Amino acid sequence: MLADVGTPKVKCIERTLKQMSRVIEIDPRIELWRKESGGELLDGADWVIDAIDNITTKVDLLKYCHNNHIQVFSSMGSGAKCDPTRIQISDISFTMYDPLARSVRRRLRLEGVSSGIPVVYSTEVPGEIKLLPLPEEEFQKGNVKELGAFDDFRVRILPVLGPLPAIFGLNIATYILCEVAGKPISNPLPVKGRKKFNERLARDLQKREEKFLSRQLNKLPLDDDDLGLLFDDIHRGRSVRPPFPVPERPALVRWDPKEPLSLTNCVSFEFADAERHLTEVLLEKNRPEDVWGAEVAEVVARRREEARRVVEWVIRDTDTKPYGGVAMFVSGIVEWLWRALGVTGQDGWERD
């Protein structure tokens, strides 16, 4: 509310909670938590809710709680997000596609904490949203770091859609209330709830790759989570062929036979169209644009560019999928070597 502008958050929360209950006792502290004196603020706490934006302080708090057996729930980033259906509760070790969660997870691992901290986060991959720029006149005034609330806190912020932090907070409150009531949420829904669906996409894709490469594959360079990201986020759960329907039997297939299979070279089709692509493009060596036309080629080009940006944004998240990024890299090198050596029967192409 406008009336709260300039009022410390803890004071706003205190006032609101007292309006809800006459028996509640609140000890508001307008203080920044520091690991050097953190025990004073957390003494006697049953639960700690971490909603800190600064990564260093966030990791310090989570490590302190973990090492001192204080129950803690951590909120990851809601900035630059808008899809409430992608919000998940999971252990910190299972988070994916969230850059804040990735940074926190990696730093915690360096501190010897790999799991045991529940978090709320979003699997949504933002588009072109960046940190809000500072007006040029602020730079002309002098050192912009002086605008920060604290010396080691960022000055610029990510755009935040109002309801999203509230939804994050409701997830946290619900989880902790269930824990306190002795009815814990013991089995949060797996990410996206699409495990079997993604596994089927992977099986079908592997069969097509084996037909194309004329050899058996132990595994794909893309794992189930990659394929889920590709189908759900990059291709919006639709075929790249007009009128872009939701496939009755979705299928993924390598787009350009001259390039290795990757997030940027895999497209979504109806099953029958994927089989046609395998035959006419991958095996008979026709150009994809000649088979499907310019409109499909343009759609695929846009999707491939989106996938490229996602790969850069996510940075492959290899610490939760220890072989995913390596497998993609090795697969690309192997296929390049086959072509460079002019070996046929491996990827269906001879060196020119």
Give the type of residue at 70: I
Q: Which residue has the higher pLDDT, 35 or 264?
A: 264
Q: How far apart are CA 17 and CA 172, in angstroms?
A: 16
Strand 87-91 vs strand 118-122: parallel, antiparallel, or unpaired?
antiparallel
Cβ contact 77:99 at 8 Å: yes
Which of 127, 53, 52, 51 has its CA nearest to residue 83?
A: 127
pLDDT tens digits for 49-104?
A: 999 888 889 999 999 999 999 999 999 988 778 889 889 898 888 787 787 888 89
- Flag whether the pTM goes above 0.85: no
pLDDT tens digits for 178-212?
A: 999 999 987 676 555 567 888 899 999 999 999 99
Helices (H), 216-323: 224-229, 271-277, 288-292, 294-314
Q: How far apart are CA 231 and CA 227, in angstroms?
A: 6
Strand 118-122 vs strand 250-254: parallel, antiparallel, or unpaired?
unpaired
Backbone angles phi, psi at 308, to 5 degrees: -60, -40
DSSP 8-class letter at 162: T
Backbone angles phi, psi at 273, to 5 degrees: -70, -35
Which of 75, 73, 108 has its CA nearest to residue 93?
A: 108
Q: Which burial class, exposed, middle or buried, applies to 78 when counting CB atoms under 10 A from its CB (0-12, 13-18, 19+)?
A: buried
| Domains of the chain with bracketed CATH | 31-192 (3.40.50.720), 197-340 (no CATH)
pLDDT tens digits for 113-166?
A: 988 999 999 988 766 656 556 666 655 555 545 444 444 445 445 677 889 999
Which of 66, 56, 6 has its CA nearest to residue 33?
A: 56
Lowest mean pLDDT among 226-230, 243-247, 249-253, 323-327: 323-327
Which of 300, 295, 292 has its CA nearest to residue 235?
A: 300
pLDDT greater than 80 at residue 287: yes
Contact residues for 151 (Cβ-Cβ < 8 A; gap 6+): 145
DSSP 8-class letter at 30: -
pLDDT greater than 90 at residue 39: no
Backbone angles phi, psi at 267, to 5 degrees: -125, 165
Q: What is the pLDDT of residue 142?
A: 53
Q: What is the pLDDT of residue 241?
A: 95
167-173: long-range contacts, CB 8 A cutoff, minimum separation 24:
167/78, 167/84, 167/87, 168/75, 168/78, 168/87, 168/120, 169/51, 169/75, 171/87, 171/89, 171/120, 172/49, 172/73, 172/75, 172/120
User: SS3 helix, strand, coil % of the chain, rounded to 5?
Assistant: 50, 10, 45
The angle at the Cα of 206, spanning 203 to 210, to the nearest 5 degrees, equals 140
